[in-house]
Amino acid sequence: MWYSNDMKKKSLILATIIVIIDAILKIFIDNILSINESIQIIPNVFYITKVYNTGAAWSIFEGSQIVLIIIAIVAFFFLLKYQNAFRKNKRNTLAFALVYGGLVGNLIDRVIYGYVIDYLHVYIINYSFPIFNIADIAIVVGFLLIIIAIIKGEEHDSSK
């Protein structure tokens, strides 16, 4: 049991670092760019473009901040409980840290501003991918790592 709490503690510490990095980048972007303003990093591929997103990915649930806040809080506490079922290893610690950090990073924006500050703008073969942020990357990578753990059967930790 102590190891389970140790894994969770490490995940929450890493998540806090992710939240801080995410917040610093969002504040920086919010202060240097006007809404919809872009800075070209790699022509036709990568830009920093400031937008305010009142929805989730691909603007689903646009304007439904209360719903998105509730979903984030429920997901956070569900994952916090669910983490105990996973094998205790570095990948799983990182996976949950990434998801926690991403959820909280975007949750803070939603609660304080009523929207999420997005700024990473990628074009893939002339397709303008929806603009996202570091918190979004953390959530996606974290969930991919959790899916890998589930595929490997690590969500039923037999070492307890």
89 vs 106: CA distance, rounded Å: 26
Q: Would you call 118 a catalytic residue per the annotation?
A: yes
Catalytic site residue from 22, 109, 136, 157:
136
Asked if residue 22 lies in contact with residue 138, where contact means CB atoms within 8 angstroms, the answer is yes
Q: Would you call 109 a catalytic residue per the annotation?
A: no
Catalytic site residue from 22, 109, 118, 157:
118
Give residue 34's identity as a one-letter amino acid code: S
Known catalytic residues are 118, 136
